[in-house]
Amino acid sequence: MEWSKRWFEGFKGVLREGVDLAPRSHIRIGGPARVYAEPWAEEDAALILRVCREHDLPWVVLGGGSNLLIADSGIDAIVIAIDAWQRVVKDGNRLVASAGASLPALLRQAKDASLSGLEGLIGIPAQVGGAVAMNAGTATSETFDSIVSLRIVDETGEIRTLERDELSPSYRNGNLGDVLVTTATFELSTGSPTAIQQAMKDHLQKRNATQPVTEKSVGCIFKNPEGDAAGRLIQAAGLKGEAVGPIEVSTKHANYFVNKGGGTAAQVLELVDRVRNRVREEFGVELELEVKLWGY
C-alpha cells in the first residue's frame, strides 16, 4: 500500500508507520500496522475515510482488540484507533458513549447513575465501538439490546446519525458495513443501585467461573451453531487441552484458545483448522469463526 502524509493535511491526531499491534491485541499476537492513525475528533476520522476513498486505501478500526487475530506479518492498511474518544454523558435515562470508551467504564457510569439494562455485558473487555460493530454479548444479552441510535462516519467521510429502525444487527454482527462508529446512545431504565450492583456481581461470578478471563485469548473463537454451543461440541470431541505450540484449547471453556506465551497467529489458525476438522468429522457441524482476522 502506497500512501503519503501530505494527503492528510489538516489531520489532528497521531499518524505513524509500522506501529506494533501485538500489545493492542488481547491475545498479544500480531505484526505491525502499515499506518496507524489515532484521530482526536470525529472530523479527523472523517478526513481519514475521505482520503482512503480518494486514494483507494484499505482501512480498519481498532477497538479493544479482544475479538481480533492479526497476521504475524501485520496488516497493510490504515489502522484507525479510537482511544481518544472516551466520554460517556448522561441524558435522562440515556447514556451517550463515545466509541473509545470501554464497556467496563460504561457499565460503571450506568450503575452510578442508577440505570439498568447493561448488566449482562459485564466482563466483556471491549470498547463501545468494537462492541457495537460485532454486537458483542453473552448468553443473556447483546450490545444492541439497549441501543437507540448511532453516530457514524460513513465510507464517503460523511458524519451522520442512524436511528434504531435503520439498524439490523444479528448474532455477533452489527451489520453496519463500512462505517466508523463515533458514539452510541443507550436507552436504559431506572433501577436500584444495589440491585444493579448485585446483577453485575452475579454475571461476573458466572463468567469468571466458566471462562479463562485471566488468560490471553481472543474470546470465543467460533460462533455458536444454531441450537447448540461451539464449546460443547469442541469438548465433546475431546479437544480440551489440545495445543499447537503455546496455543491451547482452554481447559476451562473449549471455545477459547489461550496463548500460554510466545504464540503466533499461524499457530492459532492451525489449531482452528484442527478443531474444525474434528468437529466436522464427529458431528457433521461446520464451525464458523467469530474472531475477526486481519492481514489475511
Residues 71, 296 contacting (CB under 8 angstroms): yes
End-to-end CA distance of the chain: 15
Q: What is the DSSP letter of 6?
A: G
Instruction: Please choose, from the candidates 127, 154, 230, 91, the residue with its C-alpha nearest in 3D space to the C-alpha of residue 162.
Output: 154
The β-bridge relationship of strands 94-98 and 75-81 is: unpaired
What are 150's strand-pairing partners? 162, 184
What is the second-level CATH architecture of the domain 88-195? Answer: 2-Layer Sandwich (3.30)
Mean pLDDT (10-residue bins), the chain, 296 residues: 96 97 96 98 97 97 93 98 95 97 95 95 92 90 96 96 96 94 97 93 90 92 95 98 98 97 97 98 97 96
Cα separation values, 46 from 49, 75, 108, 116, Å: 5, 21, 30, 33
- The pLDDT tens digits for 186-207 are 999 999 989 999 999 999 898 8
202-230: pLDDT as tens digits: 998 988 888 998 999 999 999 999 999 99
Q: In the predicted model, what is the mean pLDDT of the chain?
A: 96
User: Tell me: the pLDDT tens digits for 48-75?
Assistant: 999 999 999 999 999 989 899 999 999 9
Check residue 207 and give its pLDDT. 86
- Structural domain boundaries in the chain: 6-81, 88-195, 213-294
Fold category of 213-294 in CATH: 3.90.78
Fold of 6-81: 3.30.43
